[in-house]
Chains A and B, each alone.
Chain A
Amino acid sequence: MEREMMHRLLRDMMLSRVFEERAAEEYQKGNIVGFLHLYPGEEAVAAGVINAAGPADYIVSTYREHAHALVRGVPARAVMAELFGRATGMSGGMGGSMHMFDRERRFMGGYGIVGETFPIAIGIGYAISLRALPEAVICFFGDGAVNQGTFHESLNMASLWRLPVLFVCENNHYAIGTDIHRHSAVAEVYKRAAAYNIPAEKIDGMDVVKVFDATRHALDRVRRAGGPQLLELETYRYRGHSMADPGAYRPAVEVKAYQGIDPLTIGAREIEYRYPTAAELAEVGPDNIGRLTEHMISAGHLEEVEIAQLRKEVEAVVEDAVQFSLASAQPTMDDAWRHLNCNRRHEQLLPA
């Protein structure tokens, strides 16, 4: 892997971590309201997958999508301002945490209903296929989504019509509070793809380099073979399902073990506000961010001083995003009506 790409992956992961921890703080302050599903622990998935995609590929995401948007290149200001519900947010303050869209970057939305993204992804894939373009769709979903009918319906159609869709399972082992062994008869998600003749593999989702490589190869196969692929990325969220969930259903030892393989790890540990503590890390070894920083340091791609610089840099970006959001205007009811009706353009629905 190129040194430049490794730096980018690290920066994206650190930005995502710092952004989300700051979002949690702003939620506590009351600047962000509603449902807020945070990403810490899963950064290697967003960074590895989305950096492996091309600019013409489409991203269909879930309700845990802030980091996906950041990695895709949406300015932190626009992401944070959307969380704040401001007019400058990426969805004009109409969508919020779960509904972030960026047409220009082909970021096709965060969706709040588990499993509804599969049909949308195959629809985009169908359009690509009709137009015979060398593009692909990346469809993110969690392990909890695989028991929705749409998973099976959509994988069936994707395979039947050879649609260019890469299904990416962010398997964090929990459907909100229900462990995968308690919600799935077959707990290895990748095996389910076999029922629809879709090639699939399981990857360590805490290792960003492996995620990046696996995604790149899977996307190559999608483009070359013109059919869907599925990746199961095993990962872990350090926080509860949302800000309303303390995550008490999870054994402490499990949380700690995953903190030990944090995708950002050792060099980045100081940027974390809560997860994991330095003492915990020392006990169990490097986390996922730490794994990458360790690897980069040992390979001579990175120096400790650069990590400190990077940390400062992403903290400044997030601070700027918060200040920007605070200073941004609230959308008006006129804005809301305009967003609803703007696609009507000059169409006349009723007599003048």
Chain B
Amino acid sequence: MTQELLYWQALNRALDIEMAADESVFVLGEDVGLYGGSYRVTEGLYAKYGEARVRDTPISENSFTGLGVGAALVGMRPVVEIMTINFAMLALDSIVNGAAKIPFMSGGQFPMPLVIRVPGGVARQLAAQHAQRLESMFMNVPGLRVAVPSTPQDAYWQLRQAIASDEPVVLLEHEVLYFTKGPVDTMAEAPPMHQALVRRAGKDVTLIGYSRTALLAQEAAAELAKEGIEAEVIDLRSLNPIDWKTLSESVSKTHRALVIEEDCRHAGAGAEIAANLAERCFYSLDAPVQRVAGLDIPTPYNGALEAASIPRVVDIVATARTLLGPKEKAAA
């Protein structure tokens, strides 16, 4: 059954279904209960499931995230909401030293069915402390899985898959996407949680995005199409693991790749993808993998500067043109 849902509604639907199906699923975080969630994701759940399963917590990120770790150790399936990724810095011990390590360092004795939902990204003039991405920080932690849905359908699928998983999953939700709308088919079979999806087929260049930049890549591809450039757009959907197979197949067809990331360029997801594609696809690449990324600067409050500090469609289009070179453009 397909419905048009907002991104937050899709997440809300996923939580509702999982909570109804399994009593071991519970939600906790700041203002997730009575208030209904900062981005409305937990709206209505408090009334339906009660305060014990939709737990409003004090402002104690490290300890309530760690509470999730402890509960997961004994078979609960907690879904922790950290109000924004910026506050997740305070919970890194529970996430990195706890959730990601315990299954391994116990010799595999303990599963970790924990989901950590984290809104993040550059929204609208929230300034440097409330406009971070920090994806590469989580990507670098073995034992953590990181999913980055860009559509309501993926948000629905990937949250349900994360809750069903016995491994710790960080779900990075972009704050700008909460109020975007898209079709959600609740009956369709989901692709594997970490599979990348080709959003638009093309032959000239592969545009690789995730979360909000997957949407920007599609806009850029539409622009490029006007110039006769056929860009293939891949939505990664996941940053750990990364679906190298889908990426390699695309690059071996287009021979050019461009990664678009909102996170800072230095040591970001794009660096990992460029390095890996160079290793895997060196002989099919006609040019070095390029990146369009956030500037290595704390996000300015000023609106124009903020916009200039992260990838825009024009930046993607311009870089794609350069990557293709004058000959292809002329041929087009």
Contacts and interface: CB of A to CB of B under 8 A. Distances in A.
Interface of A: 58, 60, 89-95, 99, 101-103, 108-109, 111-113, 116, 118-130, 149-150, 153-154, 156-157, 160-161, 336, 338-340, 342-345, 347-351
14 contacts: A89-B107, A94-B106, A101-B105, A119-B65, A120-B66, A124-B73, A125-B70, A153-B63, A156-B60, A157-B57, A340-B103, A344-B165, A350-B245, A351-B195
B286 interface: no
Contacts of A128: 74
B67 A123 contact: yes
Contacts of B105: 91, 94-95, 99, 101
A103 B106 CA distance: 9
**A58, A120, A345 — which one has the most chain B CB atoms within 10 A of its CB?**
A120
A154 B71 contact: no
B94 interface: yes
A124 B67 CA distance: 7
B212 interface: no
Interface stretch (B108-116, B256-264, B275-283): B108-116
B264 to A, nearest CB: 27
A123 B194 CA distance: 28
Contact of B166 (A113, A130, A157, A347): A347
Interface of B: 26, 52-53, 55, 57-58, 60, 62-76, 78, 93-94, 97-98, 101-112, 142-143, 145, 164-167, 191-195, 241, 243, 245-246
Contact of A120 (B98, B108, B142): B98
Given A103-B110, A343-B166, A150 B66 contact: yes
B82 to A, nearest CB: 13
Nearest to A351: B195
Contacts of A153: 58, 60, 62-64
A120 B70 contact: yes
A95 B58 contact: no
A103 B74 CA distance: 9
Given A91-B109, A340-B143, A123 B245 contact: no
Contacts of B106: 91, 94-95, 99, 101, 103, 109
Contact of B74 (A92, A95, A124, A154): A124
Nearest to B168: A343
Contacts of B60: 149, 153-154, 156-157
A313 to B, nearest CB: 29
Contact of A122 (B70, B75, B243, B246): B70
A224 to B, nearest CB: 20
A336 B143 CA distance: 12
A120 B107 contact: no
Given A149-B60, A344-B167, 6 more contacts: A90-B107, A94-B107, A112-B97, A120-B67, A127-B75, A340-B108
A119 B64 contact: yes
Nearest to A58: B74
Nearest to A128: B74
**A89, A119, A156, A340 — which one has the most chain B CB atoms within 10 A of its CB?**
A119
Given A93-B107, A157-B60, A347 B165 contact: yes
A351 B191 contact: yes
Closest 4 CB pairs of A and B: A123-B70, A119-B66, A92-B107, A153-B63
Given A124-B71, A127-B74, A130-B76, A149 B107 contact: no
**A111, A112, A343 — which one has the most chain B CB atoms within 10 A of its CB?**
A343
B110 A101 contact: yes
Contact of A123 (B52, B69, B104, B164): B69
Contacts of B143: 340
B28 to A, nearest CB: 8
A156 B246 CA distance: 48
A161 B109 CA distance: 29
Contacts of A101: 102, 105-107, 109-110
B166 A349 contact: no
A128 B93 CA distance: 23
Given A94-B106, A113-B97, A339-B107, A127 B76 contact: yes
Contacts of B53: 130
A23 to B, nearest CB: 19
B114 to A, nearest CB: 10
A304 B261 CA distance: 74
B107 A91 contact: yes
**B53, B68, B71, B193 — which one has the most chain A CB atoms within 10 A of its CB?**
B71
A129 to B, nearest CB: 8
Nearest to A344: B167
Contact of B58 (A112, A125, A156, A342): A156
A340 to B, nearest CB: 5
A150 B106 CA distance: 22
Contacts of B164: 347
Contacts of B245: 350-351
A157 B194 CA distance: 35
A157 B241 contact: no
Contact of B109 (A103, A116, A122, A347): A103
Nearest to B62: A150
Contact of A343 (B76, B167, B243): B167
A109 B94 contact: no
Nearest to B106: A101
Contacts of B67: 119-120, 122-123, 126, 154, 157
A46 B155 CA distance: 47
Nearest to A118: B63
A154 B98 CA distance: 15
Contacts of A130: 26, 52-53, 76
Contacts of A160: 58
A91 B94 CA distance: 20
A336 B78 CA distance: 26
Nearest to B53: A130
Contact of B73 (A102, A123, A351): A123
A123 B145 CA distance: 21
Contacts of A344: 165-167
**A127, A338, A351 — which one has the most chain B CB atoms within 10 A of its CB?**
A127
